[in-house]
Amino acid sequence: MNKISNQVFADFLTNKPLYYKIKAVENLKEFDNTAFVDAFGFKDKSFKFFCPEEHEVQTFKTDLVESAHPRLSQIITSNSDELPYSFDAKTRKLDIKVHVLGVCQSCKAKIDFLLRSTSDKEWEKRKEGMTITIQKIGQFPSYEIGLNPTLKKYLNNEDQSNYKKALICLSISYGIGAYAYLRRVIENEIKRIIQDIAELDFDGAEFVRRAYENFKMDFQMSKLIDVINQHLPVSLKELGDNPIRLLYEQLSGGIHEFTDEQCIDKAENIDILLNYVIRKINEEKYQLNDVKKAMQGLRQTK
């Protein structure tokens, strides 16, 4: 049995929008009350969340509205012939909605989540190994889809809109749409990302600057990417692969070559990588500006 970690579950509650799905357990054959097959599996899990009372991020812990789950004391075991209460009598598959409370460990403020847990196989086929999927179908206060401040400040208005549309597509598991919008963002922003890298101070920056000037005359992006492949700031080089090249490669090939699930994976990975690259560029740019200001200040006080 492979089960998601508490950290992944915490990220699911904190950062994922409504209707987002995640595989919680794979190859489940032996049942216990921690495998999300009943309400009990959602209890006593810690996560970070913005507290609506204290207006800052606090540690929350999950609890259950016990009146909504009167059968909490019933333990589901895999050797039972009787269909468990959390399985649908018609489909014979797991299908349970769980009202989960997130309780602030500082002030006891509450966040409400409505989660749905389903299986891919019928109860009678449990010995073959089930996959359990959980989905967020309700939340109060509501989740607002938006860009983080760094990304919002960096992207132009068109790409902010494209990025938000991609996140909305991801929230409803529409992978092809999410991938298409993020490809558009990459296509629009890749030149500016490289230009910003060229303006940083690092070993090899002069080669990137020269290549970028050549690009403005011949418009051959592949040649520019080849140079970038050899010269990167340390903060991007430490990844072990060239993130700029990986982002650029997403523009080749047709979207419909991939399944919707593959597009979801690609879109999620692009989201992580773009956020990282832009954050690192901004950090180095501001550090460079701070150093220049400090040097200027010292020169003026001579």
**56: CB partners within 8 A, 6+ apart:** 50
Neighbouring C-beta atoms of residue 230, cutoff 10 Å: 11
Give the confidence band of 302 by pLDDT, cuts at 50, 70, 90. low
Residue indicated by tokens 């903060």: 235
* Four-CA torsion 170, 173, 175, 176, nearest 10 degrees: -110
Give CA–CA dist 47/86, Å, rounded.
25
Strand residue runs (E) in 198-280: none
**267: CB partners within 8 A, 6+ apart:** 166, 169, 170, 175, 178, 179, 182
Neighbouring C-beta atoms of residue 152, cutoff 10 Å: 12
> Can you give the pLDDT at residue 100?
93
Give CA–CA dist 166/137, Å, rounded.
19
pLDDT digits (tens, 9 = 90+) for 180-215: 999 999 999 988 998 888 888 888 888 888 888 898
- The mean-pLDDT minimum among 8-17, 39-48, 77-86, 288-297 falls in 288-297
Give CA–CA dist 198/216, Å, rounded.
13
In the chain, CATH 1.20.120 covers 149-300
Q: Which two tokens stand for residue 239?
A: 């990844």
Give CA–CA dist 272/246, Å, rounded.
12
Give CA–CA dist 87/77, Å, rounded.
13
Mean pLDDT value across residues 28-41: 83
Of residues 284 and 98, more confidently modeled:
98
> Can you give the pLDDT at residue 291?
60
Residue indicated by tokens 């812990």: 61
**274: CB partners within 8 A, 6+ apart:** 151, 182, 185, 186, 247
Return the half-sphere exposure (C-beta side, CA atoms, 13 A cut-off) of residue 243: 25
Give CA–CA dist 248/246, Å, rounded.
5
Give CA–CA dist 208/224, Å, rounded.
8
Give CA–CA dist 83/77, Å, rounded.
10
| pLDDT of 163 higher than 70 | yes
Share of the chain above pLDDT 70, in %: 90
At 113, which helix (H) or strand (E)?
strand 110-122
Please give the CATH number for the structural domain made up of 149-300.
Answer: 1.20.120
- Best-predicted range by mean pLDDT among 48-57, 115-124, 248-257? 115-124
Q: Which two tokens stand for residue 157?
A: 């208005």
Quote the mean pLDDT of the chain: 86
Q: Which two tokens stand for residue 224?
A: 């520019």
Please say whether the beta carbons of 105 and 60 come within 8 A.
Answer: yes
| pLDDT of 282 higher than 90 | no
